[in-house]
Structure 1
């Protein structure tokens, strides 16, 4: 029928030769990100537009973070959880503004979205747990006053910011060191 031209054979061989193999493993995808993506699919299937908008908002914030100059080297569950906490904080500010403006319906909608976002966060440490941890580190470091705050905060850097917000930890360290 059709005769094969001499030109097609080299391209076929070249296409097989262009396979690249790497020995590097693909970076592990955070479990929380996989869960969020699965929730997007579930919301689409169930036609839950409110939940879909909230979950897509998380993915949008994550994409924006990855493209920003302050992007972390590696996206982890903790990074995603901090991002969600920031989103919750923005919505809480919106709730207070809506309440002040007498727009209860919009405030209720924001509260509903906050509850949808809280599903993705781990159980936060209580004030007492944070204070106990701060007192332990202060004792280990031998801190005697406010001048030792840097040493204490550096040691407390290992606390998960999703469970213990840095602002809360910092305030607790100031209070504990002031009481010494």
Structure 2
């Protein structure tokens, strides 16, 4: 028996579904994810090791999130932007630590990385925009005291966490409700 005969015999016995192709399209990747992957390639081509390390750290954080039990159903731009915000916050804490330790060179490096990461964030809501949205929800809900914080925050869940961080929104809601 030659190889072709063996191959044909194997094909004849194989279940049909092994060789069928799916017609379903792969899920579309988030535009920001595609941009980040393109930036990795650009940084490699430019041999920009600092930028490459920063961009790869975003992809690493994303991979870690996807494998965690709290993984979102799908990766959206908003999910990636929240990851970038967390990464920026870590680096800001590192800057303070390095400055307290007298390591200006390391603090400058972390500051430079923060600037590289900010490129991936949308423009944040202004204080006035957040306050207007919060006051509108408070009025709609009829909230009168800090006890109504949960109701108000639930309605404000529709705000993009990349443009209006939940901690900032929560603090502002508490401040507004306590002044009523």
Shared fold, TM over 0.5? yes
Report the 3-state secondary structure (helix = DSSP H, G, I; strand = E; otherwise coil) of the residue aligned with 1:7: helix
User: Unaligned stretches of 5+ in structure 1?
Assistant: none
- More deviation in 18-27 or 103-112? 18-27
CA offsets per residue over residues 115-141 of structure 1, 9 Å max, x none? 000000000011111111100110111
Q: Which residue of 2 aligns with 1:175?
A: 175
Q: 1:158 to 1:6 in 2, by over 3 A?
A: same
Correspondence 1:25-104 to 2 at 5 A: 25-104=25-104
Shift in Å, 1:157? 0.1
Q: Which residue of 2 aligns with 1:106?
A: 106
- The alignment covers a number of residue pairs equal to 179
User: Unaligned stretches of 5+ in structure 2?
Assistant: none
Q: Report the aligned-residue RMSD.
A: 1.8
Q: Which residue of 2 aligns with 1:123?
A: 123
Report the 3-state secondary structure (helix = DSSP H, G, I; strand = E; otherwise coil) of the residue aligned with 2:122: coil
Aligned equivalents of 1:129, 1:13: Cα separation in 2: 67
Q: 1:41 to 1:11 in 2, by over 3 A?
A: same
Shift in Å, 1:21? 3.3
TM norm structure 2: 0.93
Report the 3-state secondary structure (helix = DSSP H, G, I; strand = E; otherwise coil) of the residue aligned with 1:152: helix
Q: Which residue of 2 aligns with 1:134?
A: 134
- More deviation in 5-14 or 51-60? 5-14
